[in-house]
Amino acid sequence: MKTFLKILLASSLVVTAGAKEIKLLNVSYDPTRELYQEYNAAFVKHWKARTGDDVVVSQSHGGSGKQAQSVINGLEADVVTLALAYDIDAISQKADLLPAGWQKRLPDNSTPYTSTIVFLVRKGNPKHIQDWDDVVKPGVSVVTPNPKTSGGARWAYLAAYAYALEKNGHDEAKARDFVKRLYKNVPVLDSGARGSTVTFAQRGIGDVLLAWENEAHLALKEFGADKFEIVAPSLSILAEPPVAVVDKVDKRHGTLAVAQAYLEYLYSDEGQEIAAENFYRPRNQAIAEKYAANFSRLKLVTLDQEFGSWTKAQATHFADGGVFDQIYQP
Amino acid sequence: MNPKQKSKLGRILPTILIGTSAAFIFLAAAHGQTTNSADAAPVKIPADDASGSAAGSATVASTEAAEIETLKKEIQTLDQKVQKLEQQREVEQPAVAESNQEQIQELDQKVRILERRRELDKEAADAAAKTQPKLTLGQNGFSFGSADSNFIASLHGVIQADSRSFINDGGGTAGKNTFLLRRARPIFTGTVFHDFDFNFTPDFGGSGVVIYDAFLNYRFNSALQVEGGRFKSPVGLESLQTDAWTAFNERSLATGLVPNRDIGFELHGDLFAGSVSYAAGIFNGAPDYSTPTAPAQDVDDNKAFAGRLFFQPWKATSIVPLQGLGFGVGGSYESDRGTAADLTSGYKTDGQQNFFTYAGTVANGVHWRISPQGYYYYGPFSLLGEYVISDQRVTAGAVSANLRNTAWEVTAGWVLTGEDATYNGVTPRHPFDPRAGDWGAWQVVARYADLNIDNAAFPTFATAGSASEAKAWSAGVNWYLNRDIRIDASFSRTTFEGGGGTAGLGPITRQPENTIFTRVQVAF
């Protein structure tokens, strides 16, 4: 018994002496604060139980495009969890911090959860907004972030454009006119999705917010279901926010193994449950069915279907001089 | 009855009453003609009008009835009009109210949008400001730095325009009355990544450009710093004082025995809240107060060690009269190997004339210095003093000797306008502005200094005309117009003794040197 206790004591001392503190920085897009707050706590507990090491995860949030630029400019992100693959591609191409084939390293093109764009309207829906056509009507004030800086805004723009294409037999001119009318109704462009939620829900501006689905649910939870309601349009886009380790930074910090495990755990049952509870559509089908009531039923089109690829979409619509610059007059 | 109905009734009723009253008046008038006949004086109806009266009465009655009927119809019409107007008003009022409400909501949205745009613009401006370089310009010069303060560069400067006038020189002194640009130094300083300071100071005042300072200083903290490059050797107290803040135009005779600038590395710092300062370095080795045109690289393999320990025990206490008291000791040690470059080019008077130079002599052996030193500053009063021993082994031909030269000096000052005197100058409380009756700060200063050359230097090691001792007293007035501009005037008298080498005292040393100095200085 005494021998056993000595061994136990020695082991705990060894573990304690060997246990180290590992710091990770997760650079994420704007609306994922609540998701990663909960997820980080779960991962820390999981990693401690598995290895005995303490992990401290710091978060940085902002418009996806802005966040990507920050990483390119030197922000030492161990992992990036951004709104669209194009932003992570930019980090790879401009700063060479991770390989070009990063997206193949995790399942489902490195997107452990998906989302879409819905409408958040005032309670009672006084402007009777049911679909995209209602959003472009004169007299309807629309809140959405700036597609130049926000990933969510780019998804929203593409969702509207996709709707117009589907409705008008893929007539590009009509689709362009459609988004032009949409942005004519936008009085304020925030830099990120969270800012737009503040504009709509706290500042009381606008009749409709083009929101990430999770952000819309969060607004109901935070501000009260008696103030707002969610309207699902007839068609929206399947948003696939990807995640990636930033290899060069991880090698410098010695955090590669933990960073990889951090992202892999998003695909675990616990990770998928946390995503669903925070109104992100999980990839795990069983968990998706369990939380089906959380999500609107609507027709979802993919970016590849409608626009080919992010590279094409970015070049056509969001690059300097692209369609957005042509149709939007501040 | 609700208020609306009351209001309606209130509008209809007078109309009805007016109409009805009109009807009654006509009726009463008609009736009065028939009924009042009993009260009225009987109207004699002519006999032949009696039958005509009955027919006439009937006609009058029917006329009155028709009139009444007409009035009734008019009243009815009026009533209908009033009702119609009331109805119209009831319809229009909610529409107007709704329109007003919509306008209010629209305006409210516009105001909210403007406020939110302003909020976002401010956020963007704040974010942009974090990346904008910072620029400042003030009495301490011009400085600019990156937003994250990782790169800061500053430009300071010292310009000193002097005059020297030698008087009563009996025709023997070689001193020339002159104006001169004593110093014209742009001083480039900066800090990179918070802990690395640099300094680059060229001087354009002389006949050519000379680099005075060029060094990098790493600050681990205030107590531990490492400096490397070309900078002042840590020995002499007056020597270490910034050129802009010395009491007189030229430093004293005592500073003639300490090293000036040297090239090397030094560990230094302040301990115990600045109560103790230390410096210890390794250098190429510099002769006694050589000009900066001393060799840019060492002339031999030997290195010089120089250091200083300075105490200001009451600096951080509340004992105000003792806060400005500081004392310490500086020293150096090196071993020279047979070079003239390790010897001073000459010991100079206040007027910058050589009163002693070595002849055919080289430094050849150990050269050590020690300098106990101290100062005291209290309010407008200042006192600075040091004593220096410079002991050097020299050789001239086959003859060698250890020459021990000594010097001391005391400088005192008093700021007449009451400002505090400090080691780093005087800051006027009221900068010069004659329109406002402000005249800056005025200081009187006095100094006595003595430099004694070892008698063993004569005659073998000294040039002809060299003196073995120089004594100088000086007095002056310094006018600080503001922190950046200063005007000085002083007088210095130096007398010489002994020496003479092989031919007695020379043109410079056979009579006292009397010099009047003036200076206009800009330092920022």
Give the pLDDT score at A20: 84
Lowest mean pLDDT among B30-34, B51-55, B394-398, B492-496: B30-34
Pair (B67, B167) in one structural domain: no
Give the pLDDT score at B506: 78
Q: Residue B10: is its pLDDT beyond 90? A: no
Query: Tens digits of per-residue pLDDT, B217-250?
Result: 999 999 999 999 999 999 999 999 999 999 999 9
Lowest mean pLDDT among B148-157, B250-259, B419-428, B437-446: B148-157
Query: Tens digits of per-residue pLDDT, A271-303?
Result: 999 999 999 999 999 999 999 998 988 999 999
Q: Which of B109, B123, B124 has its CB closest to that of A205?
A: B109
Our CA-based measurement puts residue B92 at a distance from the nearest CA of chain A, in whole angstroms, of: 23
Confidence band of B29 (pLDDT split at 50, 70, 90): very low
Nearest CA in chain A to B109: A205
- Could you tell me if B324 and B381 are in contact, meaning their C-beta atoms sit under 8 angstroms apart? no
Our CA-based measurement puts residue A187 at a distance from the nearest CA of chain B, in whole angstroms, of: 7
Average pLDDT, chain B: 86
With tokens 């103030």, the residue in question is A227
Phi, psi of A22 (to 5 degrees): -115, 135
Q: Which of A141, A188, A204 has its CB closest to that of B120?
A: A188
How many other C-beta atoms can be found within 10 angstroms of the C-beta atom of residue B293? 11
Task: List the CATH number of the domain containing B311.
Answer: 2.40.160.10
Query: Tens digits of per-residue pLDDT, B366-402?
Result: 999 999 999 999 999 999 999 999 999 999 999 999 9
- Residues in chain A within 8 Å Cβ distance of B116: 188, 199, 203, 205
Report if residue B248 sits inside a domain: yes
Give the pLDDT score at B259: 94
Testing the interface with B: which of A150, A186, A188, A198 to mutate, by most B Cβ within 10 A?
Answer: A188
Lowest mean pLDDT among A224-238, B149-163, B165-179, B324-338: B165-179
Nearest CA in chain A to B102: A139
Pair (B379, B463) in one structural domain: yes
Give the pLDDT score at B136: 83
CA-wise closest residue to B524 among B189, B133, B149 = B189
Report if residue B128 sits inside a domain: no
Chain A residues with CB under 8 Å of a chain B CB are: 141, 187-191, 195, 199, 203-205
The Cα–Cα gap between A124 and A225 comes to 11
Confidence band of A123 (pLDDT split at 50, 70, 90): very high
Shared fold status for A2-114+240-294 and A117-238+298-327: yes
Catalogue the long-range contacts made by B203-206 (C-beta closer than 8 Å, 24 or more residues apart). B203/B292, B205/B160, B205/B180, B205/B181
- Residues in chain B within 8 Å Cβ distance of A148: none
Give the pLDDT score at B38: 43
**What tokens does B47 get?**
């006999």
DSSP string, B228-288: EEEEE-S--HHHHS-GGG-SSSS--GGGGGSB-EEEEEEEEEEETTTTEEEEEEEES---B
- For residue A147, is the peptide bond before it cis, meaning its omega torsion is within 30 degrees of 0? no
Number of alpha carbons in the 13 Å side-chain half-sphere of residue B231? 25
Pair (B111, B208) in one structural domain: no
Pair (B111, B188) in one structural domain: no
Nearest CA in chain B to A143: B113
Mean pLDDT of all residues in B24-34: 46
Pair (B229, B285) in one structural domain: yes
Report if residue B500 sits inside a domain: yes
Give the pLDDT score at B499: 73
- Residues in chain A within 8 Å Cβ distance of B120: 188-191, 195
Report if residue B123 sits inside a domain: no
Pairwise CB contact (< 8 Å): B116 & A203: yes
Query: Tens digits of per-residue pLDDT, B442-476?
Result: 999 999 999 999 999 998 999 988 999 999 999 99
Our CA-based measurement puts residue A197 at a distance from the nearest CA of chain B, in whole angstroms, of: 12
Pair (B92, B173) in one structural domain: no
Q: What is the dihedral of CA A98, A103, A107, A108, to 10 degrees?
A: 150
Q: Which amino acid is at B414?
A: W
Pairwise CB contact (< 8 Å): A188 & B115: no
Strands of chain A (E only): list them. 21-29, 54-62, 79-81, 113-114, 117-122, 142-143, 208-212, 228-231, 235-237, 243-245, 281-282, 299-301
The Cα–Cα gap between B215 and B227 comes to 7
Give the pLDDT score at B503: 57
How many other C-beta atoms can be found within 10 angstroms of the C-beta atom of residue A76? 15
Pairwise CB contact (< 8 Å): A203 & B115: yes
Confidence band of A9 (pLDDT split at 50, 70, 90): low
DSSP B420: P
- Which percentage of chain B shows pLDDT scores above 90? 61
Give the pLDDT score at B91: 75
Q: Pick the residue with more confidence: B94 or A159?
A: A159
Confidence band of B175 (pLDDT split at 50, 70, 90): confident
| Helix axis angle, B50-131 to B3-35, nearest 10° | 160
Q: Domain ranges in chain A?
A: 2-114+240-294, 117-238+298-327
Give the pLDDT score at B65: 86
Mean pLDDT of all residues in A192-197: 90
Give the pLDDT score at B17: 52
Our CA-based measurement puts residue A303 at a distance from the nearest CA of chain B, in whole angstroms, of: 30
Our CA-based measurement puts residue B376 at a distance from the nearest CA of chain A, in whole angstroms, of: 51
CATH of A117-238+298-327, one of 3.40.50.10490, 3.40.190.10, 3.30.565.10, 3.60.15.10: 3.40.190.10
The Cα–Cα gap between A221 and B416 comes to 74
Average pLDDT, chain A: 92
Q: Which of B112, B123, B124 has its CB closest to that of A203?
A: B112
Give the pLDDT score at A185: 95
Give the pLDDT score at A143: 96
Nearest CA in chain B to A186: B113
Give the pLDDT score at B35: 43
Pair (B65, B142) in one structural domain: no
Report if residue B127 sits inside a domain: no
The Cα–Cα gap between B109 and B103 comes to 10
Confidence band of B148 (pLDDT split at 50, 70, 90): confident
Confidence band of B342 (pLDDT split at 50, 70, 90): confident
Q: Residue B111: give the domain boundaries.
A: 3-116
Q: Residue B354: is its pLDDT beyond 60? A: yes
Mean pLDDT of all residues in A248-271: 95
Across A219-223, B259-263, B314-318, B442-446, the highest mean pLDDT is recorded for: B442-446
Pair (B396, B470) in one structural domain: yes
- Residues in chain B within 8 Å Cβ distance of A195: 120
CA-wise closest residue to B401 among B464, B461, B356 = B461
- Residues in chain B within 8 Å Cβ distance of A208: none
Pair (B268, B188) in one structural domain: yes
**What tokens does B24 get?**
């009654």
Give the pLDDT score at B50: 45
Pair (B54, B161) in one structural domain: no
Bridge partner residues of B76 (DSSP): none
- Could you tell me if B447 and B411 are in contact, meaning their C-beta atoms sit under 8 angstroms apart? yes
Give the pLDDT score at A71: 96
Q: How many domains does chain B have?
A: 2
Give the pLDDT score at B51: 47
Our CA-based measurement puts residue B123 at a distance from the nearest CA of chain A, in whole angstroms, of: 10
Mean pLDDT of all residues in B272-283: 95
Number of alpha carbons in the 13 Å side-chain half-sphere of residue A114? 19
Confidence band of B4 (pLDDT split at 50, 70, 90): low
Confidence band of B40 (pLDDT split at 50, 70, 90): very low
CA-wise closest residue to B105 among A159, A122, A274 = A122
Give the pLDDT score at B56: 63
Q: Residue B30: is its pLDDT beyond 50? A: no
Catalogue the long-range contacts made by A312-316 (C-beta closer than 8 Å, 24 or more residues apart). A313/A86, A313/A154, A313/A158, A314/A86
Nearest CA in chain B to A191: B120
Pair (B164, B103) in one structural domain: no
Give the pLDDT score at B37: 43
Q: What are the residues whose beta carbons fall under 8 Å from the beta carbon of B458, sequence distance 6 or more?
A: B466, B468, B498, B499, B500, B501
Query: Tens digits of per-residue pLDDT, A209-225?
Result: 999 999 999 999 889 89
Confidence band of B41 (pLDDT split at 50, 70, 90): very low
Pairwise CB contact (< 8 Å): B109 & A195: no
Confidence band of A132 (pLDDT split at 50, 70, 90): very high
Q: Residue B151: is its pLDDT beyond 80? A: yes
CATH of A2-114+240-294, one of 3.40.50.2000, 2.60.120.330, 3.40.190.10, 3.40.50.1100: 3.40.190.10
Mean pLDDT of all residues in B52-56: 57
- Residues in chain B within 8 Å Cβ distance of A73: none
**What tokens does B167 get?**
């008087």
Query: Tens digits of per-residue pLDDT, B116-147?
Result: 999 999 988 888 877 777 888 877 788 888 87
What predicted TM-score, i.e. pTM, was given to this entire model?
0.63
Q: Residue B44: is its pLDDT beyond 50? A: no
- Residues in chain A within 8 Å Cβ distance of B113: 187-188, 205
Pair (B67, B214) in one structural domain: no
Rounded to the nearest 5 degrees, what angle is found at the Cα of B237, between the Cα atoms of B231 and B238? 90
Testing the interface with A: which of B107, B113, B116 to mutate, by most A Cβ within 10 A?
Answer: B116
Confidence band of A8 (pLDDT split at 50, 70, 90): low
Q: Which amino acid is at A216?
A: A
- Residues in chain B within 8 Å Cβ distance of A187: 109, 113
Q: Residue B46: is its pLDDT beyond 70? A: no
Give the pLDDT score at B33: 45
With H, G, I as helix, E, B as strand and everything else as coil, classify residue A25: strand
| Torsion sign across C-alpha atoms A122, A123, A129, A132 | positive
